[in-house]
Amino acid sequence: MTAIARTKKPQSPVTPPVVAAGVRSRTPRQDAGARLWGVLGRSGARNSRAVFHELLGLVTDCPPVDLYDAVEEGVPTAVVSVIAGAFGGTNESVMALIGVSETTFRRKHEASEPLPEVAGHRVMGFLRIVARLQRLLQESGDPAQLADFDLDAWVRDWMREPLAEFGGKTPAQMLRNPEGQRAIEELLDRMRGGLPA
């Protein structure tokens, strides 16, 4: 044995980093989806609009990493009928929005499997954008006028309106990929800041 090997100190076990008081350390959790999507299973006799707005509240309050985890765990097919009911549309119109064929949707629904991954990302993008639109309108409007304002109808119409900022595409078309979602968010930021869209 060499002198170096004899004098080498044994390594101590790795200790976790110290966390400042009041700061929770984050560990991977597998229940983000259950917390977020659980509202769909608890809907009972409530109408789709109430369930949808509770879901929007959860999306607004969740840290981004929890939204990521919820999508990774799988977006349930039940979200399609909740979105359709909240916006007075059909399941088929929501399937077209998120890019899922009726055959795929039916197969996933009957097997109690989540939506395909790409569709799950589009659902989350849609929820985040609607939550942002809702917050934008609430912050900029008169509360008395907003009491009688049909936000869901306004969002439904806005999502279907071709916009010059998107080269004549609708916000619904822009939801189909992350770059389009980012373009919508940038437009909403400009609207919030009062800059010309």
Q: What is the pLDDT of residues 1-13, one digit of tens each?
A: 455 445 544 444 4
Distance CA 117, CA 121 (A): 6
- At position 52, the amino acid (one-letter code) is F
Backbone angles phi, psi at 143, to 5 degrees: -55, -35
- pLDDT value for 15: 43
Distance CA 162, CA 158 (A): 8
Note the pLDDT of residue 24.
41
186/129 Cα distance (integer angstroms): 11
Around Cβ 105, how many Cβ atoms within 10 Å? 20
The per-residue pLDDT for 43 is 55
Residues 130, 62 contacting (CB under 8 angstroms): no
Question: Is 177 exposed, middle or buried, given 0-12, 13-18 or 19+ CB atoms closer than 10 A?
Answer: middle
Residue tagged 């006028």 (tokens): 145
Contact 129, 181 (CB under 8 A): yes
pLDDT attached to residue 191? 78
Q: Say what the alpha-carbon torsion angle 113, 122, 69, 192 is, to the nearest 10 degrees.
A: -150
Q: What is the pLDDT of residue 25?
A: 42
Kindly state the tokens that stand for 45. 């006799």
Rounded (10°) CA dihedral 119, 122, 127, 130: -140
Q: What is the pTM of this model?
A: 0.76
CA distance 76 to 68: 14
Count of C-beta atoms within a 10 Å radius of residue 174: 22
Kindly give the parts of the chain with pLDDT less than 70: 1-30, 42-45, 141-146, 193-197
pLDDT of 23: 40
- pLDDT given at position 153: 82
pLDDT of residue 41: 78
Gap between the terminal Cα atoms of the chain: 74
* pLDDT of the residue at 18: 43
Report the pLDDT value the prediction gives residue 176, as an integer from 0 to 100.
86
